[in-house]
């Protein structure tokens, strides 16, 4: 992928970030999860075959009945566990009653009658989201990224300046630099490679902090280059099924909204599945996004079987000729076996409908979690077969260095980075930009 960067007019004037120029979608308050709380409370309906999955009632809606009250997931909730839903059987031992249909205020109980004719018209478009294809910049995403990475880059920068100003390169200096790089979450192998590159041919000589930063950026870019891959929608798969997974509050639902917007702007017909059936607010949140980006949302009542819903959504998306189906899922801690089994079940059931699906399983990672991302990738990969990563919240107080360690360890494609809460705040991942942001190289 080419590392094209947008022009950055007025860079200095915008250095301190922009005011949100795209309104953010209000987030409903999540059910307060308790960190480390014990009960594995995802409703676990009885194991179902594909036949009875399709029988449960679902609703396709093109409009949200209500705009949920705006709130943000506080950082401390990210990675927290789920709360039990009252009245549900967390063990999944009792069969659930068939759920009543949901009818929106508009009476939008469209399923099973929805047809392609009910959906907005679409233009044919290229199916690959690349940096070249993105809309004109003007959102200051680079400023947001560099600001978000400031914590990492300035601590690295301080170390580099402290270590390399008017000092000859020796073993102690290199060791200290390696420590600083590991501290910045870059991982031991990358840190070693960087220090080797810096020392090569320069031992016992002076090297300027600027030179060190340039080598650092170059080595980080080398590590990231192979994983910086666009998300390619295979148009021969109709629908192209994207499953979004991750821990609580990572940004799955928001990223679905942002991605849908990109797909829609490329003329793709998009459908959403409200697979986070755990919280009513999560269903509403997805409906708000669906309404905003013009994508119908298939939902069931809170507590419904997420796997069954995914199956329904596939059927529906196939029937109405959708190009892309994005399936939202409930956030879950990667070390909760019961919740991960639920995810496995969703994948299994989706495969019953289409053995090649999900065509992309995107793990959404919150850039502020640091090292925990490693076990998230490991365990979500095992349960659901991650095909690509999206790292969100790189505009906050990010610990983006972890992306370098992940690239080194897992070599999974990184498709996008989230740099804000707005619908446009999702950027294709480019190795050079990210490497420069880490090294604190401007522009």
Ligand X SMILES: Nc1nc2c(ncn2[C@@H]2O[C@H](COP(=O)(O)OP(=O)(O)OP(=O)(O)O)[C@@H](O)[C@H]2O)c(=O)[nH]1
- Residue 235 assigned ligand-binding role: no
Among 58, 248, 253, 266, binds Mg ion (CB under 5 A): 253
Three-class SS state of 206: strand
For 54, 110, 328, the CA distances from 107, given in Å and listed in that order, are 22, 8, 24
| Residue closest to ligand X, measured at CB | 331
Spacing of C-alpha 33 from chain mean position: 20
Judged by CB under 6 A, the residue of 153, 159, 199, 254 near ligand X is 254
Q: Binding string, 278-317, against ligand X, x = CB under 6 A?
A: ----x-----------------------------------
Q: Does 255 bind Mg ion (CB under 5 A)?
A: no
Among residues 258, 269, 282, 237, the alpha carbon closest in space to that of 82 is found at: 282
Check binding of 388 to ligand X (CB under 6 A): no
Cα 116 to Cα 414: distance, rounded to the nearest angstrom = 33
Total residues interacting with ligand X, rule: CB under 6 A: 25
Within 72-91, which residues bind ligand X (CB under 6 A)? 72-73
Please, what is the minimum distance in Å from the beta carbon of residue 30 to ligand X?
Answer: 5
Contact 55, 315 (CB under 8 A): no
**Contacted entry of ligand X, Mg ion, none for residue 246, CB cut-off 5 to 8 Å set by kind:** ligand X
Q: Is 252 annotated as a binding residue?
A: yes
Alpha helices in 102-170 (DSSP H): 141-148, 150-164
For ligand X, the closer of residues 274 and 438 by Cβ is 274
Q: Which of 48, 143, 152, 253 binds ligand X (CB under 6 A)?
A: 253
SS (H, E, C) 31-70: CCCCCCCCCCCCCCCCCCCHHHHCCCCCEEECCCCCCCCC
Q: Which is nearer to Mg ion, 282 or 350 (CB)?
A: 282
Q: Tell me if 248 is assigned to a ligand binding site.
A: yes
x/- letters, 324..363, toward ligand X (CB under 6 A)? -------x--------------------------------
Going from the C-alpha of 166 to that of each of 162, 171, 207, 396, the distances in angstroms are: 9, 16, 8, 34
Copy the structure tokens of residue 359.
């065509």
| 252 touches ligand X by CB under 6 A | yes
Q: Which residues pair with 240 in a beta bridge?
A: 324
Residue 143 binds ligand X, judged by CB under 6 A: no
330 is in an annotated binding site: yes
What residues does 24 pair with on adjacent strands?
Answer: 422
**CA proximity to 295, closest of 159, 132, 118:** 118
Region of 4-12, 219-227, 276-284, 288-296 interacting with Mg ion (CB under 5 A): 276-284
Applying CB under 5 A, which residues contact Mg ion?
A: 252-253, 282
Applying CB under 6 A, which residues contact ligand X?
A: 27, 30, 72-73, 246, 248-254, 276, 282, 331, 364, 392-393, 395-396, 418-421, 425
């Amino acid at each position: 992928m080419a590392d094209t960067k947008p022009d950055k007019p007025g860079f200095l004037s915008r250095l301190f970030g922009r005011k949100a120029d795209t309104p953010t979608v209000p987030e409903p308050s999540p059910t307060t999860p308790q960190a480390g709380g014990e009960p594995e409370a995802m409703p676990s309906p009885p194991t179902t075959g594909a036949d009875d999955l399709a029988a449960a009632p679902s609703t396709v809606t093109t409009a949200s009945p209500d705009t949920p009250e705006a709130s943000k997931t506080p950082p401390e909730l990210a990675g927290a566990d789920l709360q039990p839903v009252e009245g549900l059987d967390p063990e999944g031992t009792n069969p659930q009653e068939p759920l009543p249909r949901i009818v929106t205020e508009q009476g939008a109980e469209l399923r099973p009658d929805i047809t392609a004719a009910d959906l907005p018209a679409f233009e044919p478009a290229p199916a690959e989201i690349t940096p070249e294809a993105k809309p004109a910049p003007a959102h200051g995403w680079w400023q947001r990224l560099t600001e978000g990475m400031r914590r990492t880059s300035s601590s690295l920068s301080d170390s580099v300046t402290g270590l390399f100003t008017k000092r000859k390169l020796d073993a102690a200096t290199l060791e200290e630099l390696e420590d600083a790089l590991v501290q910045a979450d870059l991982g031991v192998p990358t840190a070693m490679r960087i220090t080797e590159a810096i020392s090569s041919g320069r031992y016992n000589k002076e090297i300027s902090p600027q030179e060190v930063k340039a080598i650092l950026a170059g080595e980080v870019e080398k590590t990231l280059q192979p994983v910086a891959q666009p998300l390619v929608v295979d148009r021969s798969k109709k629908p192209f099924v994207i499953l979004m997974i991750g821990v609580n509050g990572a940004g799955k639902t928001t990223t679905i909204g942002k991605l849908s917007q990109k797909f829609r702007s490329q003329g793709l017909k998009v459908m959403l599945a409200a697979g986070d059936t755990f919280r009513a607010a999560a269903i509403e949140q997805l409906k708000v996004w669906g309404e905003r980006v013009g994508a119908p949302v298939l939902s069931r009542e809170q507590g419904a079987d997420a796997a069954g819903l995914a199956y329904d959504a596939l059927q529906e998306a196939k029937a109405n000729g959708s190009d892309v189906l994005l399936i939202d899922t409930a956030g879950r801690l990667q070390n909760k076996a019961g919740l991960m089994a639920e995810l496995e079940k969703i994948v299994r059931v989706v495969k019953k409908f289409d053995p090649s699906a999900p065509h992309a399983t995107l793990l959404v990672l919150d850039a502020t979690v640091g090292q925990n991302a490693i076990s998230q990738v490991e365990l979500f990969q095992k349960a659901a077969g991650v095909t690509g990563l999206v790292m969100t919240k790189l505009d906050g107080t990010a610990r983006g260095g972890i992306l370098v360690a992940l690239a080194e360890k897992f070599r999974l494609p990184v498709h996008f980075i989230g740099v804000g809460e707005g619908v446009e705040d999702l950027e294709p991942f480019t190795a050079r930009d990210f490497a420069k942001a880490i090294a604190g190289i401007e522009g």
